[in-house]
């Protein structure tokens, strides 16, 4: 009996270790999306880049759904609008702003602006869903917002008031607002759909919404002119940064809960800054360092369980 229990305990422990490894790799994948996005954004237009990313992501997500459930569940008519809104906010607008911003903003700076996501989600969840904010969360939101302002303004917060902010920084901050909308809509969608199904269909609808502007933006030409580096970047974004990343992340949510799985997201900006330094030779200036400290402390305070 004791032997059976010890074997079962060892199996559960090893499964948990594998899960944690997957979550760490997911955070690293998402950190790498800023480097890959920076490379892709320099050579093709945002619509084409986003469309190719989510065509690849949709194909792999459909394969994951089929492999885990043995079928592709159909959407009920009442769920279609929610999924379209998810695709419009989390795929269409987010990625247009993401690739547009990365044309002008370094990968490390972009990652730290987007790292303020949890604070803004907590704030808007309080405003729209009346979710309670304790003092620690309020402090976290203020610190994250302050860090984002330092990064966006490149160390001169007064420039935000004066309107002297680069267009690239505004695009990346628009990503934050798009993700807030995606997350809030997702709260309603996940009452009726599993996370994996919601993500899969939102990627499919998002890719469909991107198809026409991508074609108008020269998609056919890009298919023949893209360099190997761009194709590798697009594949990385579609498979590792979207399909596999989301699949493993939702495995984590299912196994250990959203709060514990979400802690691993704090690794994303750290990985992004490290990869950008290693692969793109991006320097870490004082404003980036100060903003990173404020954002990371703020994210910790916002996400810290009671």
Owning domain of residue 193: 2-303
The Cα–Cα gap between 238 and 147 comes to: 29
The residue ranges of DSSP E strands in 137-296, in sequence order, are none
How many domains are there within the chain? 1
pLDDT tens, position by position, 79-88: 999 999 999 9
Contact 178, 97 (CB under 8 A): yes
> CB of 30 within 8 A of CB of 241?
yes
Count the residues in the chain: 306
Q: Which two tokens mark 248? A: 């493993």
pLDDT computed for residue 51 by the predictor: 96
Specify the pLDDT at position 6: 54
Q: Return the number of other C-beta atoms located less than 10 Å from residue 29's C-beta.
A: 23
Tokens of 76: 């009920």
> Computed from CA positions of residues 28, 62, 74, 68, in that sequence, does the dihedral angle turn out positive or negative?
negative
**Position with higher pLDDT, 252 vs 100:** 100
State the pTM of this model.
0.84
The CA distances from residue 200 to 60, 63, 197, 219, in Å, are 9, 10, 5, 23
Tokens 């909308």, residue located:
181
Closest to 113 (Cα-Cα) out of 155, 156, 144, 158: 144
- Model confidence pLDDT, tens digit, residues 268-306: 888 888 888 889 888 777 888 888 888 888 877 776 665
């Amino acid at each position: 009996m004791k032997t059976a229990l010890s074997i079962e305990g060892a199996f559960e422990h090893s499964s948990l270790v594998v899960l944690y490894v997957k979550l760490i790799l997911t955070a690293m994948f998402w950190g790498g999306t800023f480097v890959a996005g920076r490379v892709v954004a320099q050579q093709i237009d945002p619509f084409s880049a986003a469309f190719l990313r989510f065509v690849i992501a949709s194909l792999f997500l459909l394969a994951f759904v089929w492999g885990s459930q043995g079928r592709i569940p159909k959407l009920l008519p009442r769920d279609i609008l929610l999924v379209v809104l998810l695709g419009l906010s989390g795929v269409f607008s987010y990625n247009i702003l993401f690739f547009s911003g990365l044309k002008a903003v370094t990968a490390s700076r972009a990652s730290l602006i987007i790292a303020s996501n949890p604070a803004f989600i907590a704030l808007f969840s309080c405003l729209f869903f009346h979710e309670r904010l304790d003092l620690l969360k309020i402090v976290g939101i203020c610190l994250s917002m302050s860090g984002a302002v330092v990064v966006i303004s490149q160390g001169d917060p007064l420039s935000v008031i004066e309107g002297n902010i680069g267009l690239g920084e505004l695009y990346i901050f628009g990503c934050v607002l798009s993700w807030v909308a995606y997350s809030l809509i997702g709260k309603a969608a996940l009452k009726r759909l599993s996370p994996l199904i919601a993500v899969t269909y939102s990627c499919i609808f998002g890719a469909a919404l991107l198809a026409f502007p991508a074609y108008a933006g020269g998609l056919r030409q890009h298919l023949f002119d893209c360099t190997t580096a761009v194709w590798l970047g697009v594949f990385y974004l579609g498979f590792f940064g979207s399909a596999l990343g989301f699949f493993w992340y939702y495995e984590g949510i299912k196994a250990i809960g959203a709060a514990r799985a979400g802690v691993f997201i704090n690794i994303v900006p750290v990985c992004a800054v490290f990869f950008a330094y290693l692969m793109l030779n991006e320097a870490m200036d004082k404003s980036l360092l100060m903003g990173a400290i404020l954002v990371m402390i703020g994210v910790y305070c916002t996400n810290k369980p009671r």
